[in-house]
Structure 1
Amino acid sequence: MAVAPHPIAVEPALPPLTPGPHGRRLGVISIVACFGGLLFGYDTGVINGALRPMSAELGLEALTEGIVTSSLVFAAAVGALVGGRCSDRFGRRTVLLALALLFFVGTVVLVAAPGFALLVVGRVLLGLAVGGASTVVPVYLAELAPFEIRGSISGRNELAIVSGQLAAFVVNAVIGSTLGHLDGVWRVMFAVCALPAIALFAGMLRMPESPRWLAARGRHDEALAVLRSVRAPARAEAELAAVDRVAAHETGRMSLAAVLRSRWLRRILLVGIGVGVAQQLTGINSIMYYGQTVLVESGFSESAALIANVAPGVIAVLGGFVALWMMDRLDRRTTLLIGFSLTTACHLLIGAASMLLEPGDSARPFVILALVVAFVGSMQTFLNVAVWVYLSEIFPLRMRGLGIGIAVFAHWLANGALALSFPSLLGGLGITGTFFLFAGVGALALAFIATQVPETRGRSLEALEADIASGRVFEPRRR
């Protein structure tokens, strides 16, 4: 299917944003939806401290540890792909309600698991929910947010993710320190996940559907009612008029075959895949999943590493607040280039410190911890928020669920490959070789961002769609 000339060739003239109850309503919606991000973060981070007591109780070895850890991640790849398509068909809100139920069921299975097999089943269920949330929540927020503050609204999901990871690290440290002598302590760590799952389900029952999804299905009155709840009346009507022009021009969902037949849609899909995979190949989730193991390798005792592991979680949350402040002030490309430059430098420094400071040197664990904290801070401030915001806004409406689903599918596959191989990689290459390898991949990512990634900040989703359809989005922007 060829892409016809788009009806929106220039940025639509919209009334300016104004304060009022609609702004508070948008804030409430974003908080409730971000419970999906909180669950994403907690379920991916809790394994960091739960893995060792779980392995000791159930007799897991290196391979089965890797399977338990990575099963969630590979399932998340499938969940991302299916969740994106389901949200296009059934609606963003409906899918978020279903994901809340899946989070709860997965938690129950995992907590009750008597052995390896059901442990993997529980992790797979949680992975499907995590993957679905990773695609649906950013799209839901981006489609509700006005373009002037879309970065800071969509970016709240990433802040929720790292807050969930920090919560997991703190819960692990507290429970491990107070109840670590008891059998099954890891089950308590996992059980905490049920609370935000309940909050997400109860909250989404009162939240609206995405107005852009409603407009794309001809449900004009419902879309306008939702927009009027989160915009001033004049702004809501003008914004819906632009959405309606797109919806009238392109109806129905777009197939993958149609995307691949279009030069520009194919290219924007590859850009989305590349951005998502590049983020994962920094190795950030190797730290989030195996941070305690890395710190033990650097010279900390197991108990000290469990407590020290909270530091990267804290800096991730602080970096998230800085990132939200920057998202509507700094171009996406600039943010990504700074981020990959800093993380690559941190990789080189971690590798060098591990090589120059011999095991047994009292300074070695603290220097490596400081550099790991700097790496996580750089990731969160300049990359993690920017990547998720970018993926939520780059795809046209008809392929948005499909596009972000495929991009995040590739993102999770890269994540899973690292989760499965990192223990072996660390055992074979040590900290030095592993982080030098990450540095080499970071240099390639920098080249990709500099040459292939177009700018998206400061544009409505509809105007971006017009420029993608014509290929203008890949031309240098003049400010």
Structure 2
Amino acid sequence: MAVRIGARNTTGWKATISVAMSNYIESGSIIAIATSLGLWQAQFHIGDLAVGLLASLSANAFGAAAGAMVGGPLCDRYGRKFIYTYDLLLYMLGIVLAVFAGSYAMLLVGFILTGIAVGAGVPASWTYIAEQAPKDKRAAHVGTAQLAWSIGPMVGFAFAIAMAPLGLLGSRIIFAHLFVVAAGVWWLRRGLPESDIWKDERAATGQRSFLHGIGQLFSKRVNLTAMLFLFGVYALWNTVAGQAGIFQPRVYSATGVTSVTEQYALQILVWFCTVVVTYLGFMRFGDRMSRRVLFAVGAGLAIVAWAVLIYAPATLGTLLFFAIAWGASSGIGAQAFYGLWTSELFATRYRASAQGVLFLAARVMVGLLSIWFPVLLAGIGLRALGALILGLLFLSFVIGTIWAPRTRGRSLEEIESERYGTVTSATGTTRAVDGAGAAGAGPGARR
């Protein structure tokens, strides 16, 4: 499929925002976990390895990975609306278990269920938003998901400061607020239409098997090159960001900041900067200027931020610089571009499956490191981990800057036509232009 003659309907900002709230719920879950780990550890008398398992099997890593692997193919087979209609019901069940957890096992099950739910919902939300957005405002609409993701931690850490006097009860209240948000979002989504592009694809080709998209992803060169590119951009960066998201208070402790309130205040500043730069940077300029340049600025700033935190003296100025620079870099960084480029570089028939596979890979990497990160941080210290952190960020910077695709201002159908060599008319009739597809058109193919 690719170029469909004639205009398609696009959803408004209300639909974009309601679907993007999957990202608020995901990040909110991660921060609720991050700010409560020490309290759960004391409550259930568990060690650092058990804490690592809570983090790695949750929405931050393996739980989300499993959800994405199942949710992506389901999204391509049954539609985008299918996933965002039901995923939040599972999410709310997991949150209820966390709110009322009376044992480590109950808490672990709750974290796993919420992870599976957000893993299924996030690829569907990015796919839906990109497919329904106008071609000249796609970055602005996709950026809304990143904006929602950034607001989640900002609100979560503010809640954590406010609820700190209540101890573990305060953490349970933070989880409860996520249940309320999820219920409201689920209610709003019920009336949303299905993706127009997905409906056209289904009308033209019929229903495919659950694993069809997965097989196509690994059998076509055009897909393999795109997956390798996006893995390099996102999974490597996210391995660092995933530890920061859930273990950053412990990282601050390693630099000498032992006050929990100060740790959370620094994190509020980080995410405030991310919110501001996402809106003023990615959403305002992602459709208007070179995305290669925008990505390079964000990725480069991330490297500088962590280098200063790891190796510079732990002064107030150092910590404030890190918070501002890391937060700003995330606003125009790998995750925002990943959500945009993944939707652009894959055909409609397996667009969500591609996101599922890539999200799986990224979260598995986060999960593997999360199991041991608290142990390593306590054992060898932040400086010894510095080479790994900076190496991952540098590789992401190089890959994204060199091979950034030139897709700005073009419809998803036009991009698909160039990359896969097919054309679809307004009636849904498909015609192959090049049976092999644009196999040589890698991520950085020119217009």
Asked if these proteins are the same fold (TM beyond 0.5), I'd say yes
Tell me the equivalent position of 1:360. none
Cα gap change, 1:368/1:307 in structure 2, threshold over 3 Å: closer, same or farther?
A: closer
Shift of 1:392: 2.3
Cα gap change, 1:344/1:14 in structure 2, threshold over 3 Å: closer, same or farther?
A: farther
Structure-2 separation of matches of 1:446 and 1:205: 39
Cα gap change, 1:185/1:476 in structure 2, threshold over 3 Å: closer, same or farther?
A: closer
Q: Deviations over 1:383-427 (max 9, x none)?
A: 332222222222111111211111111111122223223212322
Secondary structure at the aligned position of 1:261 is classed as coil
Q: Deviations over 1:11-50 (max 9, x none)?
A: x7867x9xxxx88x51111111122111111001112211
| Preserved contact between residue 68 and residue 120 of structure 1 (Cα < 8 Å) | yes
Structure 1 segment 160-309 matched on structure 2, within 5 A? 160-176=148-164, 178-180=165-167, 183-218=168-203, 247=204, 252=208, 254-281=212-239, 283-300=240-257, 301-309=259-267
Tell me the equivalent position of 2:435. none
Which of residues 319, 325, 348 in structure 2 aligns to 1:374? 325
Tell me the equivalent position of 1:121. 109
| Preserved contact between residue 222 and residue 441 of structure 2 (Cα < 8 Å) | no
- What letter is aligned with 2:346? F
Residue ranges of structure 1 left out of the alignment (5+ in a row): 1-5, 219-246, 358-362
| Preserved contact between residue 464 and residue 473 of structure 1 (Cα < 8 Å) | no
Residue ranges of structure 2 left out of the alignment (5+ in a row): 421-437
Cα gap change, 1:217/1:77 in structure 2, threshold over 3 Å: closer, same or farther?
A: same
What is the aligned length? 424
Shift of 1:452: 4.0
Tell me the equivalent position of 2:384. 433
Q: Which of the pair has more CA radius of gyration?
A: 1
- What letter is aligned with 1:393? E
| Preserved contact between residue 179 and residue 185 of structure 1 (Cα < 8 Å) | yes
Structure-2 separation of matches of 1:193 and 1:68: 18
Cα gap change, 1:185/1:478 in structure 2, threshold over 3 Å: closer, same or farther?
A: closer
Cα gap change, 1:414/1:456 in structure 2, threshold over 3 Å: closer, same or farther?
A: farther
Shift of 1:265: 2.2
Query: RMSD over aligned Cα, in angstroms?
Result: 2.4
Cα gap change, 1:475/1:276 in structure 2, threshold over 3 Å: closer, same or farther?
A: closer
Tell me the equivalent position of 2:293. 334
Secondary structure at the aligned position of 2:332 is classed as helix
- What letter is aligned with 1:277? A
Tell me the equivalent position of 1:224. none
Shift of 1:90: 1.6
Structure-1 separation of matches of 2:333 and 2:231: 18
- What letter is aligned with 1:307? A
Shift of 1:276: 2.4
Shift of 1:477: 5.5
Provide the TM-score with structure 1 as the length reference.
0.82
| Preserved contact between residue 292 and residue 400 of structure 2 (Cα < 8 Å) | yes
Structure 1 segment 367-446 matched on structure 2, within 5 A? 367-446=318-397
Which of residues 316, 330, 334 in structure 1 aligns to 2:274? 316
Cα gap change, 1:255/1:381 in structure 2, threshold over 3 Å: closer, same or farther?
A: closer
Secondary structure at the aligned position of 1:100 is classed as helix
Match status 1:28 vs 2:14: yes
Secondary structure at the aligned position of 1:277 is classed as helix
Secondary structure at the aligned position of 1:309 is classed as helix
- What letter is aligned with 2:227? L
Tell me the equivalent position of 2:439. 471
Shift of 1:162: 1.0
Shift of 1:451: 4.2
Secondary structure at the aligned position of 1:105 is classed as helix
Structure-1 separation of matches of 2:35 and 2:232: 31
Structure-2 separation of matches of 1:85 and 1:477: 27
Q: Percent identity over the alignment? A: 25
Tell me the equivalent position of 2:426. none
Structure-2 separation of matches of 1:327 and 1:130: 26
Shift of 1:475: 8.1
| Preserved contact between residue 135 and residue 409 of structure 2 (Cα < 8 Å) | yes
Structure-1 separation of matches of 2:256 and 2:316: 5
Cα gap change, 1:150/1:34 in structure 2, threshold over 3 Å: closer, same or farther?
A: same
| Preserved contact between residue 324 and residue 385 of structure 1 (Cα < 8 Å) | no
Tell me the equivalent position of 2:45. 59
Shift of 1:184: 3.1
| Preserved contact between residue 24 and residue 148 of structure 2 (Cα < 8 Å) | yes
